[in-house]
Amino acid sequence: MLANPQYDNSGRLRHLLTVEGMPPGLANEIFSRAGSFLEPGAGNIAKRPLLGGRLLINAFFEPSTRTRLAFEIAAKALGAEVVNFDAVSSSLAKGEIFADTVQTIIALGADIVVVRHAAAGAARQLASIAPAQVSVINGGDGCHAHPTQALLDAWTVMRGCGRIEGLRIVLVGDILHSRVARSDIHLFSALGAGRIVVCGPASLVPRQFEQLGVEVEHDLDKAVRSADVVIALRPQLERMHGQYFASAGAYLRDYGITKSRMAAAARKALLLHPGPLNRGVEIVSDVADGPQSQILNQVTNGVAIRMAVMTLLAGIDI
C-alpha cells in the first residue's frame, strides 16, 4: 500500500484527494475558513487577493458545470490566474495519454491543478508525480471520490441545521456509481451523523454498502420517514453498462423525491442534490424549487469551500 500523498510528513494537507479518513478538526477548519469568505448578511462571496500570482489549471477530462465554474470563480476571487483545459480539443484526440497530458499541465506552471477524470485514482496518480510546489485537488474521479462536494454538502447541512451530530441523513438514488455518495458517507460519518441510510433499487444500492457503516433500505417511503436531511442523486447513465431500472417513470414512482415524500421527513428537513438534476426522474420540480431545497445554496457554498481549500493548501493563514 502506497503512503497517502494527501498529507506531508508533518500531517499538513498537501493535496485534497479524498475525505476518507479526514480528521473532523481539518473539516471544521475548512468550514471556518469558508465562512470567512462569505460576506455577512447577504452571503455573497468576498474578494480577497490571497493567491495573487498563482495559477490554477482546471484539468477536466469529464463534463462539469458546477465544480469547474466554482473553482474558477473561487480562484479569481482569491486573485489567482485560471486556465481551463478542454479535453475535447486537446491532444488527447491525437492519442496522448493522461500522464503525459498532466505532466504538460504541470510544466506549464500550474500551482494548483484541479482534476476530474472517469478513472478512479486519477487525482492520486497526478499527486504522486506532482513536484513539491504543486497541489492537486480531486474534482471527481470515477465512482471513487468527490471531496469538495462532500465538504460543501456537510457545510450546507451545518449552516442549515446548526449541527451534524445526531442527524438522520438519507442518500437516495444511484449509490453504486456515485462518488458523491461515497464521499458524503465518509464525511458525515466522521462528523458524527446519527444515522445514514442509503436507498434505491437493489441494482444500484447493493448490501455491500453496509460495510461503510450505513443502513441499506430499498423502500424510499420507509427511508425518508423522520429524516433530517434528504440527499437526492441522479442515475449516472454514463457509468451504466446494462439496465439497472425499468424506466424513468418507474424510477420516479419508486425513488423520486416528491412533495409527499418530503412531507414524511422531519418538519424542517433539508433537501440537497449535488446536480446536475434530472427533473421528473429522481426529483420533481415542486421539491427542487421548493422551500426545503438547498440546491442553489450548495452551489454558492461550494465557491467558499473551494476558496477555503485552496488557501489551506497554499499554507495561507487567514
Interatomic CA distance for residues 131 and 105, integer angstroms: 12
Tell me the residue type at 164: I
**Which lies closer to ligand CP via its Cβ, residue 287 or residue 295?**
295
* Count of residues that interact with ligand CP, criterion CB under 6 A: 9
How many Cβ atoms from other residues are within 10 Å of residue 25's Cβ?
Answer: 7
How remote is the C-alpha of 152 from its chain's centroid? 7
**Which lies closer to ligand CP via its Cβ, residue 65 or residue 91?**
65
Site membership for ligand CP, residue 239 (CB under 6 A):
no
Site membership for ligand CP, residue 256 (CB under 6 A):
no
Minimum gap (Å) between residue 296 Cβ and ligand CP:
13
Interatomic CA distance for residues 36 and 34, integer angstroms: 5
Of 64, 156, 183, 301, the one binding ligand CP by CB under 6 A: 64
Of 7, 28, 66, 84, the one binding ligand CP by CB under 6 A: 66
Burial class (CB in 10 A: 0-12, 13-18, 19+), 101: middle
Q: Which residues, in sequence order, are CB contacts of 194 under 8 Å at separation 6+?
A: 165, 166, 167, 168
Q: Does the CA dihedral 262-268-273-278 come out positive or negative? A: positive
Total residue length of the chain? 318
**Which lies closer to ligand CP via its Cβ, residue 138 or residue 216?**
138
Of 14, 137, 140, 257, the one binding ligand CP by CB under 6 A: 140
Minimum gap (Å) between residue 288 Cβ and ligand CP:
14
Site membership for ligand CP, residue 86 (CB under 6 A):
no
Minimum gap (Å) between residue 300 Cβ and ligand CP:
13
Site membership for ligand CP, residue 276 (CB under 6 A):
yes
Asked if 144 and 120 count as a contact pair (C-beta separation under 8 A), the reply is yes
Minimum gap (Å) between residue 148 Cβ and ligand CP:
9
**Which lies closer to ligand CP via its Cβ, residue 6 or residue 64?**
64
Q: Which stretch binds ligand CP (CB under 6 A): 124-132, 217-225, 248-256, 274-282?
A: 274-282
Site membership for ligand CP, residue 160 (CB under 6 A):
no
Edge to edge, the sheet with strand 112-117 lists 81-86, 55-60, 112-117, 135-141
Burial class (CB in 10 A: 0-12, 13-18, 19+), 23: exposed
Of 200, 275, 292, 309, the one binding ligand CP by CB under 6 A: 275
Of 24-53, which residues contact ligand CP (CB under 6 A)? none
| Residues found near ligand CP in the complex (CB under 6 A) | 64-67, 140, 149, 274-276
